[in-house]
């Protein structure tokens, strides 16, 4: 078996931005409060609040007069990537406040996470251009501080009430997420809002303080299944066992397109998969994605080729989030089919890691097409934010 092509070394990532010394009762960095997944919508117990789950970049906004800091979950702030949001925060939020929310990118009546990812770019000139061509918005859903008052120890019900006071009128780029205390209405939102690009419901106990980095909230997300082709695998960081399996679907053009990975396996199962997949090892030059490194390198810094653009979606050669990560793969003949569970699509691929469900020996690879995927009914984003 030939070795995968090695891409050119990636440019060294920039050093993290310094954290400013802000005159606020809550100062960065602050890890956001998190949610743990649950299968069913929690029933109302008298304390719960239900909100749409926004599909974007989690961000805590710190504003101290003319100083704005957009904090992220991974200690690399978003401030330099979203200059239009810095100006929006100055225009639409109080002079001194700390607000938790989500950076999103509306495109028409829907959210576009793929376009949002393109906003993270090292070149200042491109950052400026994209801020004008694809401006982002900020959806607020929690208040950690305002003026000299720290609110992290206050219950969420009180923080939400104070947050609503900051939005007497509809904002332009900084918006307030809708909320309901009705589990029935939350169930309706769960079905309706997906068509606008939202991916579930967040459930918050109203008596909880703000607890950084703790999963004290709940999230309910969609789960669907699809039959997909196994086209290769990447080795695990610990050695020559399966780390993730590369998945494909056939498009209308008859080509196999990379749609994501399945990766959650026990360690013993990862070793077993190496033996099960060994009979299907293929030469990279004979593989449908044999040109993966060249195409991924050519697309670096630009939107990836997709079936919709007449291109073939192939695995990436360089990670947008970790330039040192090795994304080469072991090619396999595309003859095996498995069923996976997924939550939502991001354009032509799975938004998150898919979950292996079972082998599908009764399906032919050619029958695994995009046609089987369920498409949510469209819903207007502005109608959600107007609630």
Residues designated as active site: 53
- Cα separation, 39 vs 43, in Å, equals 12
- Cα separation, 120 vs 114, in Å, equals 11
Give which of 221, 222, 264, 176 is closest to 35, Cα–Cα: 221
SS3 state of residue 35: strand
As a residue count, the chain comes to 387
- Cα separation, 312 vs 315, in Å, equals 10
The H or E element spanning position 382 is: helix 381-385
Strand 215-220 relative to strand 34-37, pairing: parallel
Give which of 338, 190, 325, 197 is closest to 259, Cα–Cα: 338
For residue 364, the tally of other CB atoms under 10 A from its CB is: 12
Place of tokens 């019900």: 157
Using alpha carbons only, how large is the chain's radius of gyration in Å? Answer: 22
DSSP state, 202? E
Both tokens assigned to 27 = 């100062």
- Cα separation, 151 vs 163, in Å, equals 11
**Residue 72, CB half-sphere, CA atoms under 13 Å: how many?**
15
With contact defined as beta carbons under 8 Å apart, do 235 and 242 qualify? yes
Place of tokens 């009128």: 169
DSSP state, 168? S
Both tokens assigned to 213 = 């980095």
């Amino acid at each position: 078996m030939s070795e995968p092509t090695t891409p050119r070394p990636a440019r060294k990532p920039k050093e993290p931005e310094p954290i400013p010394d802000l005159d606020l009762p809550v100062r960065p960095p602050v890890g956001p409060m998190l949610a743990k997944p649950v299968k069913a919508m929690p029933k109302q117990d008298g304390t719960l609040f239900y909100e749409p789950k926004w599909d974007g970049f989690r961000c805590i906004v710190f504003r101290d007069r003319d100083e704005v800091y957009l904090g992220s979950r991974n200690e690399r702030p978003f401030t330099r990537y979203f200059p239009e949001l810095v100006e929006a925060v100055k225009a639409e939020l109080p002079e001194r406040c700390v607000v938790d929310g989500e950076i999103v990118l509306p495109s028409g009546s829907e959210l576009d996470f793929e376009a949002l990812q393109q906003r993270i770019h090292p070149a200042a000139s491109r950052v400026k251009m994209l801020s004008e061509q694809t401006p982002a918005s900020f959806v607020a859903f929690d208040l950690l501080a305002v003026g000299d008052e720290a609110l992290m120890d206050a219950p969420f019900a009180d923080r939400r009430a104070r947050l609503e006071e900051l939005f007497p009128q509809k904002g332009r780029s900084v918006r307030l997420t809708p909320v309901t205390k009705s589990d029935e209405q939350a169930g309706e939102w769960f079905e309706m809002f997906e068509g606008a690009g939202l991916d579930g419901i967040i459930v918050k106990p109203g008596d909880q303080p703000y607890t950084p980095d703790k999963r004290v909230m709940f999230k309910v997300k969609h789960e669907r299944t699809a039959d997909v082709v196994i086209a290769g695998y990447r080795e695990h960081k610990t050695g020559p066992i399966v780390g993730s399996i590369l998945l494909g679907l056939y498009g209308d053009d008859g080509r196999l397109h990379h749609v994501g990975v399945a990766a959650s396996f026990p360690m013993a199962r990862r070793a077993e998969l190496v033996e099960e997949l060994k009979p299907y090892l293929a030469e990279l030059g004979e593989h449908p994605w044999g040109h993966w490194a060249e195409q991924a390198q050519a697309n670096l810094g630009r939107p990836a080729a997709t079936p919709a653009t007449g291109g073939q979606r192939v695995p990436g050669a360089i990670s947008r989030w970790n330039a040192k990560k090795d994304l080469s793969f072991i090619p396999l003949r595309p003859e095996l089919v498995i069923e996976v569970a997924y939550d939502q699509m991001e354009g032509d691929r799975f938004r998150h890691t898919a979950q292996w469900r079972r082998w599908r020996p009764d399906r032919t690879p050619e029958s695994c097409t995009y046609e089987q995927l369920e498409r949510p009914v469209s819903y207007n984003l502005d109608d959600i934010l107007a609630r």
